[in-house]
Amino acid sequence: MRLLARLTALRLPALLMGLFLGTALAVSAQPTVYIPTAADGATASSFINGLCVGCSVTDTDDVVGRRQDAARLLVPVGVLSSAGIRVDLPASEPANPRAGFVIDDPNGLLDVTVIDRVTVRTYLGATLQETRSGGSLLSLQLMASGLSKVTFRARKAYDAVEIEFGGAVALLTEIDVRYAIITRPTTLDRIVALESDGATVSGPTSGLCLG
C-alpha cells in the first residue's frame, strides 16, 4: 500500500513502526458484520413509487425480524413503478462501512438483469446521503445459503439504508428482502479507504498526518 510506503519513508523508529502496524493488524483482523433487528431498536417501513396497480410490499417487519424470514417486493411486468423498504438504524454509522441488503429470488437464482433493477440508498435523518444502482453495487452470491448480498461502501455517515426494486419488461416481478446488512471494515481497510479518499502522510520526520 502506498500509505505504508510513505510511513516507511518517514524513517520512523523500528519499534514505533512495529507498534503501529501490529496494532493495525490486531485491532480488527476481520470485518464486523452487523444485522439491525427490532430487538436492537431498528425499524422497517415500506413504500411504493408511482401509480401502480399490482405493486405490493408484504411482511415488511420481517426485514428486522428473524434472518430466515423475508419481506417481498412485487412489481408487475411492464410497470414503470417501484417498491422498496427502508430500515432505520438504532444509531448512526460513520463513513466507510458497507451498507446494503441480503436478497433472494423466490423463483430461482438472481442474475445481473435483476441486480440492474435494484437501488440502495443511505440517509442521515431525512437527508439522502448516497445512491448506488445496478452495476455500481457489489453483488456477492452467498454460496452457503443461495442468497445474494447487494452493498456499497458508504463515503458519508448514515442512519438508515433503503432498497428499491424497479419494474421492467422482464419475467421476474418480485424479490425477497431478508435483512439489511452493515459490514464494518478492519483497521487496515480504514487506512486504505482514507488513502483512496486522499489521505496523505507528510513531513520528513514529524509523524503521521491523515487528512
User: 132-170 pLDDT, tens per residue?
Assistant: 998 888 877 776 677 889 999 999 999 999 999 987 665
Return all residues near 70 (Cβ < 8 A) that are at least 6 apart.
59, 62, 63, 104, 176, 177, 178
At 61-96, the pLDDT tens digits run 999 999 889 999 998 877 778 999 999 999 999 998
Element (H, E) at 160: strand 158-166
CA 99, CA 86: separation in Å to the nearest integer? 12
CB atoms within 10 A of CB 16: 13
Q: Letter for the amino acid at 199?
A: A
Query: Quick check: 131 and 118 in contact, CB under 8 A?
Result: no
